[in-house]
Amino acid sequence: MNLNRFPRVRLTHNPTPLHPMTRLSNHLGGPEIWIKRDDCTGLATGGNKTRKLEFLVGEALEQGADILVTQGAVQSNHARQTVAAACLHGMKCHILLERRVPDHEENYEQTGNVLLNKMFGATIEYRPAGLDMNAEAQEACRKLEQEGAKPYFIPGGGSNEVGALGYVECALELNAQINQQSLVFDRLVHATGSTGTQAGLVAGLEGIHAGLPVLGICVRNPRQKQIEAVHGLVSKTTHKLGIPDIDIDRVDADDGYVGEGYGIPNEGTLEAIHLLAKTEGILLDPVYSGKGMAGLIDHVRKGTFSKNEKILFLHTGGSTALFAYEKMLLDA
Ligand SMILES: *Cc1c(COP(=O)(O)O)cnc(C)c1O
């Protein structure tokens, strides 16, 4: 699979590290747990959107765009990485932030990703919860065009078949590391939201017959809805790659760790965040990777991930948002 035929810029410090988490594994007394550190992709505190942006910004530049337009929740890691990528490539960036999370802390709209967005010079509009945010962002693009700008629209989470190429690339990178280190993993677990990460991984891993099943831990959607959404993007991505489509039974998701909803950590999320901090010195986040790890931990405790397996957690980043959840973290 050759991704060099797609326009691309370099943003990621890769390969990202792949290492065992011995203290966590011993603490849980279950399978050997490893981690791939896509929290260390390098752009403005890192995270999974950076890989997607390599292909999205590549296409934006090819089309002669001068401003990136995207959307997300107020503490969107995707928005923050997009704004930083725009700075690095001499473009402006306009972001629409949805007030998706109810009952947040006082400084939720000031600190974390919001602070960094402002430092990178984004222009920001806010929206109430529940709108079609991609439609709102496309409307903002039309306004910018009327003003003579050349906007490039990036959907929420960078999750279309262009952005998903970033996680096809991650699948290839991971497979090379697995081969170099003579490893075999039984399952890859990660937090799944706007679907680009899982769709790219499944397209890449299945496309090269890596034999590594992926389990997405939902952060928002019910299971069936998430599986169908991920598979929809898998199909578009395989079509773009020119490889055969992949069966929907290769897409698996677990919605048991969403709690009350998007951006609302529950007891399991907070336990996972504190446990990873104290055993491994690794920072998870309250919206995504904390829920992903809560799912992994619960499957170890339930025995569905058995003692003789090797489980890989893909850390998708997000620790910048910890500062927006300070009180909740200190109370836990
Ligand atoms: C966006 C995000 C995810 C989910 O990735 P998708 O491609 O949107 O499914 C997971 N973790 C973090 C930290 C994120 O910012």
* pLDDT tens per residue across all 332 residues of the chain: 899 999 999 999 999 999 999 999 999 999 999 999 999 999 999 999 999 999 999 999 999 999 999 999 999 999 999 999 999 999 999 999 999 999 899 999 999 999 999 999 999 999 999 999 999 999 999 999 999 999 999 999 999 999 999 999 999 999 999 999 999 999 999 999 999 999 999 999 999 999 999 999 999 999 999 999 999 999 999 999 999 999 999 999 999 999 999 999 999 999 999 999 999 999 999 999 999 999 999 999 999 999 999 999 999 999 999 999 999 999 98
Catalytic center residues: 76
CA 146 – ligand 1 centroid, Å: 32
CA 190 – ligand 1 centroid, Å: 9
Is residue 226 within 8 Å of 192, Cβ to Cβ? yes
Atom of ligand 1 nearest to the CA of 77: 15
Atom of ligand 1 nearest to the CA of 167: 7
CA 81 – ligand 1 centroid, Å: 12
- Cα 73 from Cα 79, distance rounded (Å): 8
Give the DSSP letter string of 277-304.
HHHH-----TTTHHHHHHHHHHHHHHTS
- Cα 234 from Cα 248, distance rounded (Å): 9
The closest of 324, 227, 236, 316 to 49, measured between CA atoms, is 316
User: For position 332, what pLDDT does the model report?
Assistant: 80
- Cα 83 from Cα 67, distance rounded (Å): 10
Please give the order of strands across the beta sheet that includes 32-37.
18-20, 32-37, 310-315, 187-192, 214-218, 252-254
The closest of 41, 42, 21 to 32, measured between CA atoms, is 21
- Cα 208 from Cα 201, distance rounded (Å): 11
- Cα 257 from Cα 223, distance rounded (Å): 11
Residue 165 dihedral angles phi and psi, to the nearest 5°: -60, -30
- Cα 181 from Cα 233, distance rounded (Å): 31
Model-wide pTM > 0.75? yes
User: Torsion over CA of 199, 77, 39 and 7, rounded to 10 degrees?
Assistant: 60
